Amino acid sequence: MRSSSTPVGVLAHRGRTDGAPSGRGEPAEGSGAPRDNTLGSFAGALAAGADGVELDVRRTADGVAVVHHDAEVPGVGPLGRLARADLPRWVPTLEEALAACAGAAVDLEVKSSPAEAGHDPSETLAAEVAELVAGCLGSGRGPALALVSSFWPGVLAAVHATRPELATGLLLFPGSDAAAALDGLEPLGARVLLPFRDQVTAAVVARAHRRGLAVVPWAVDEEAELRAAADQGVDAVVTDHVQRALRALGRA
């Protein structure tokens, strides 16, 4: 939870800076933007003034944590059935991504949908992410701040059980009840709620802050949405428009 003197934080969604979504990790046609979730996109976001990045973590068939949003790598195949050596070099390992974000903030979304092939109910990936993140925090080799987030409560419970000192956050699907979700955070050991932009109200933020919890909405891209989020008292935003966010939040 930020103090009243601390500005609203800005996290670049998958490393995006200009609002041009690039689908399955591919650059938007004609945009000149780097691929999502790559070392180039993270470097670009931090150079553009973002406080940090949001990235997506999955596990290869040979047990390597890598950064990629979708369950399938275009033109290659399902990521969970591929070894690290089978992946394109532009798909970074989590260790590489953490090193690229040294000194910054990172929100690591652990992908663990029960609907996807290869889902591991034991949440092995969550535990591995927890160990990797804890090992690099404060070492100078990785981010200064880290949050492990997921839509799936089992992930957060596994991270908390492995490394209870790590900050964790519950992502909400659009249409969820943010106020009701607050009640489910503390049993998971989570301290951050990450609702979709339309789910945020000043009352939800105030209630979270009274409990010592932070609120970080995602997909906050338009100027009016960014200004409204600041007025509601959120702690940070996850956005596709870094420079627009910095301007709307009075930071540029």
- State the pLDDT at residue 139: 83
For the stretch 186-199, what's the b/e string if a residue is b when 16 or more beta carbons lie within 10 angstroms of its beta carbon? eebebbbbbbbbeb
CATH 3.40.190.10 for domain 9-248: no
**Strand, helix or coil at 117?**
coil
- State the pLDDT at residue 28: 44
- State the pLDDT at residue 29: 42
Using 50 as the pLDDT threshold, list the residues of the chain that sit under it. Answer: 22-30
- State the pLDDT at residue 31: 53
Among 24, 19, 49, 44, CA closest to 34: 44
Among 148, 230, 210, 209, CA closest to 1: 209
- State the pLDDT at residue 82: 96
Q: What is the pTM of this model?
A: 0.94
